[in-house]
Chain A
């Protein structure tokens, strides 16, 4: 009996330390799959509180969050559309608690944690450490299908090394050429294979690929992966001012972007 009381008091203390915050913390936005940020963290935490969501509370609205939300909508008699609109959010807020400080604290410290209702919060944390003082809001990221953040970084390295002096569109174009090569039977079929093919890129040969890429290069890579190809399907490009190979001039040229001529 005494142990039960201790548990109760502990729970009460925890609840006190981590108050459930405002009655309505969600911003007025309609949250849909693909969104990131604080609203998604709250959505995941609340869905987890009710046992609908068993994934990580990472602030990225992926498929698992989507199905959890739809199950919630179904159980609570809402239209099942996978969108967290005002009615869905209202019902969710009424039915669940959200210990915002607790959740934010764990994310900041980089701990593994859950947010189920009915279990003391202290039992839901596995300290991992190492992430102290992080300012990142989410612990995951959206990535285009078939690409990892590291693939994107590697491509950004290549783009930065090859074309950092080019206009933005010229950087997207270089990234697009790498992607066009992936699809082309005459070239290796992995990102690393294409980039490190001996002699394929001068930036790889002279080590400029290992410069730290800037945000622009990363954005250019993302645009190219998401489907923008300014080159019209080019698999080669060269700088006419410095190109030494006669062969490259024999390729059918598609267009010129910045200092590069793109060809088939």
Chain B
């Protein structure tokens, strides 16, 4: 009797476990399929978008009327952006698929730039047509390769999950069709981008790092870097400082310093350029207590710090309080002209008013030629171009980087429209509205 009961119980347990295992397996599969489908959608969508991109680029080549060219270029821009987003959803971050992504990004930028331009007044130049032709050719090649990969994927029921696995385990057997196919695509784009077919209109577009043009001088030693840090950070001299060299991938040689003060909790970190020993940035990680001084006082102390370290001619542009620290932005100002690219950010602790952060990366890498140009238009003439609904509250001259990454002298207007505050930059030579931004720095807390 007992035996039978035991057997019955065991049978129930085995069947139950089996059923449970089966359910688990089913659920796991459902999730895997779900993930796989997401990848598949992104990939097939990408193939389709590239197809479309190629066709549309071809159509723009044949167009002659400006009225149809602008919308067509706008469409190219949209398609390129969707394709770009598709690539971002594929598990390729460890596969060199960057060039394709970059290519799409550049097409987007090129087509946007030309689409928004008044092609009636400023038709496409010869170079731009050449660029378009080259883009068309490249897109064609990518399309061919992608369609090929797509065919193989469909034919052989290939799964992206396997690609992910192969990438993760670094499986170098080399028989993964998807990876090989995409590598071929990448190679195709590579030959294109390296031949700089985007033409002269595209130079300066790629976010090229100019390096620290301001950091001139003879190379300093590690000990000199320590001395500079001590002076700059106002150290007592009892701290332990570790200095390391930058790696080979750095645009510009610099020293990284880690300063450990046994008395305070938290280290200070700092980078100093090797040439000339300019502080690039510094950050103090000590815990900060309850605020005792005001934001205004912090801003004054920040300014005093700059003056003490020979950063002259700066004015406070923005100040923000985050709990117990003030984040300050100073910009260079020359004869009332604000030079926005030459900015220095600082953090001041509100418990004791000491500077706990500094970064002059923008300032050190800015290469705005001096003397600054004089405005050719008067402020009155430019003001007429401002949207009449905008109530101008402040005006001044300013240098900003425009869309083409060129420095331009502008008239800056701060004004309100309804409840919002806007910042406008109008080119002081051409009257072009270079930049309009809504200023908003306060967000209600969500509950």
Is there a chain A Cβ closer than 8 Å to B225's Cβ?
no
Partner of A142, one of B247, B250, B321: B321
- Which of the segments A96-104, A119-127, A183-191 contacts the partner chain? A183-191
- What's the Cα separation between A230 and B256 when bound, in Å? 9
- What's the Cα separation between A62 and B416 when bound, in Å? 13
Across-interface contacts of B319 in A (CB, < 8 A): 32-34
Instruction: Check A141–B246 contact: CB distance below 8 A.
Output: no
Instruction: Check A186–B102 contact: CB distance below 8 A.
Output: yes
Across-interface contacts of B5 in A (CB, < 8 A): none
Is there a chain A Cβ closer than 8 Å to B229's Cβ?
no
Is there a chain A Cβ closer than 8 Å to B154's Cβ?
no
Name the residue of chain B whose CB is nearest to the CB of A222. Answer: B322
Instruction: Check B345–A227 contact: CB distance below 8 A.
Output: yes
Partner of B416, one of A29, A30, A67, A143: A67
Instruction: Check B164–A198 contact: CB distance below 8 A.
Output: yes
Is there a chain A Cβ closer than 8 Å to B271's Cβ?
yes
Name the residue of chain A whose CB is nearest to the CB of B254. Answer: A232
Partner of B170, one of A140, A244, A254: A244
Instruction: Check B446–A253 contact: CB distance below 8 A.
Output: no
Instruction: Check B297–A29 contact: CB distance below 8 A.
Output: yes
CB under 8 Å from chain A, chain B span 224-258: 244, 246-251, 254, 256
Across-interface contacts of B54 in A (CB, < 8 A): none
Across-interface contacts of B362 in A (CB, < 8 A): 227
Is there a chain A Cβ closer than 8 Å to B91's Cβ?
yes
A222-241 near B? 1/0 per residue, CB < 8 Å:
11001111101100000000
Interface size class of B (residues with CB under 8 A): 35 or more
Across-interface contacts of B266 in A (CB, < 8 A): 168
- What's the Cα separation between A230 and B85 when bound, in Å? 28
Instruction: Check B269–A230 contact: CB distance below 8 A.
Output: yes
Partner of A186, one of B98, B209, B247, B296: B98
Interface residues of A (CB under 8 A from B): 29-37, 54-56, 58, 60, 62-64, 66-67, 70, 83, 110, 130-131, 134, 136, 138-145, 148-150, 167-169, 172, 183-189, 193-194, 197-200, 222-223, 226-230, 232-233, 244-248, 251-257, 261, 263-264
CB under 8 Å from chain A, chain B span 137-194: 164, 167-170, 172
Is there a chain A Cβ closer than 8 Å to B299's Cβ?
yes
Is there a chain A Cβ closer than 8 Å to B275's Cβ?
no
User: Shortest beta-carbon distance, A128 to chain B, in Å?
Assistant: 9
Instruction: Check A252–B248 contact: CB distance below 8 A.
Output: yes
Instruction: Check A149–B295 contact: CB distance below 8 A.
Output: no
Name the residue of chain A whose CB is nearest to the CB of B318. Answer: A34
Name the residue of chain A whose CB is nearest to the CB of B96. Answer: A247
Instruction: Check B105–A254 contact: CB distance below 8 A.
Output: no
Instruction: Check A226–B102 contact: CB distance below 8 A.
Output: no
Partner of B244, one of A138, A184, A232, A255: A255
User: Shortest beta-carbon distance, A164 to chain B, in Å?
Assistant: 15
